[in-house]
A = this chain, B = another copy of it.
Amino acid sequence: VKALAIDLGGTHATLAIVEDESILAVRELSLDRAQGLRPVLPLFVQTFRALSSETGIPFSACEGLSFSFCGLPDSRTGRILSTNQKYDDAIGLDLPSWCQTELKMRFAIENDARMALLGEYIAGAGRGVEDIVMITLGTGIGGAAMMNGELVRGKHAQGGCLGGHLPALFSGRKCTCGAIGCTEAEASGWALPLIAAEWPGFAASKLAAEPEVTFRAVFEHAAAGDSVALAIRDRCIKVWAIGAVGLVHAYDPELIIIGGGVMKSADVILPVVQDQVANFSWTPWGTVKVVAAKLGNNAGLLGAIPLLTKVVRSHAKTV
């Protein structure tokens, strides 16, 4: 099965023609998220035409267009429900009609975290498993869940996507989502400078000399023996580990896949999370495996085929 695929992030879009578990051709476009989505749609069409003629694959050979979006779409209707300050004009757009008119094919859209899970499921760390929780550690903490081979979506398309917003500390920091003490508020990229600033001894730490307290800085200084960096690193990993146990209890998975830039330090992170999940989850049937994501930025594109064939068909059954 072949498809067109768009992965839209905050600052750029990746467009590709994919076939089953492979990306046949790919093009990256730099975008300005403040500019909106509508003005770049013609550029998408033009880019797909170029990819099509380059590969010799006509649009008619494609199952449809898969769109991975950095906000919350409703995959049942193809509409975008909320945008999180990126491409705010997307809420009013009728993308399924645009796709039908311009590309003459079916349109399918999902949230980028769910797309990453679908990609890992079909072609990466989740192959052969139907019950998966994915956690993406970055500026925020993203997530998605699959139960019995189907994405967890929920009434308002939010189910499974807010795994970074389960509580870790009920008396904790105010989160960007509005809640208190979410794992994201206690151990994400945006929270890191706030955590560090409050840490006893921070001023004397090597971290204080960094222009910005990033995960890279924390993990590097921790590895070099800086005690504050080490303590902050271990606290973040502990929050992720406890959060992973919460997600096991919420979704009953067999596998947890962790992605995001900080997983360059998977050798430090995975053993702690795996140990916590093995010893502190209530799973009388056995042990949930914890692994690193394999596909990196390609996951959202490779989710195209399961999105178009599996997810959209399952909506057709239930609507």
Q: A254: which of B148, B155, B283, B284 is its contact (CB, 8 Å)?
A: B155
Given contacts A170-B239, A180-B242, contact A156 B280 (CB under 8 A): no
Tell me, yes or no, whether A20 is within 8 Å of chain B by CB.
no
Considering only CB atoms, which chain B residue lies closest to A187 in the complex? B170
Given contacts A147-B159, A155-B131, contact A166 B253 (CB under 8 A): no
Docked Cα-Cα span, A182 to B156, in Å, equals 26
Interface of A is mostly: loop
Tell me, yes or no, whether A168 is within 8 Å of chain B by CB.
yes
Query: How many monomers of this protein are in the complex?
Result: 2
Tell me, yes or no, whether A238 is within 8 Å of chain B by CB.
yes
Tell me, yes or no, whether A179 is within 8 Å of chain B by CB.
yes
Considering only CB atoms, which chain B residue lies closest to A240 in the complex? B170
What is the size, in residues, of chain A's interface with B at 8 Å between Cβ atoms? 52
Docked Cα-Cα span, A157 to B252, in Å, equals 8
Q: Do A158 and B283 have beta carbons less than 8 Å apart? A: yes
Tell me, yes or no, whether A103 is within 8 Å of chain B by CB.
no
Tell me, yes or no, whether A73 is within 8 Å of chain B by CB.
no
Tell me, yes or no, whether A165 is within 8 Å of chain B by CB.
yes
Interface window among A44-52, A109-117, A243-251, A257-265: A243-251
CB distance from A63 to the nearest CB of B (A): 24
Q: Do A167 and B246 have beta carbons less than 8 Å apart? A: yes
Q: A178: which of B147, B160, B163, B280 is its contact (CB, 8 Å)?
A: B280
Q: Which residues of A line the B interface, CB within 8 A?
A: 72, 81-82, 130-131, 147-148, 152-160, 162-163, 165-171, 177-182, 186, 238-239, 242-243, 245-246, 249-254, 279-285, 318
> Can you give 22 A-B contacts (C-beta < 8 A)?
A147-B152, A147-B153, A153-B252, A156-B252, A156-B283, A158-B282, A159-B251, A159-B252, A165-B246, A166-B167, A166-B249, A167-B242, A167-B246, A168-B170, A170-B186, A170-B238, A177-B249, A178-B279, A179-B280, A179-B281, A181-B242, A246-B246
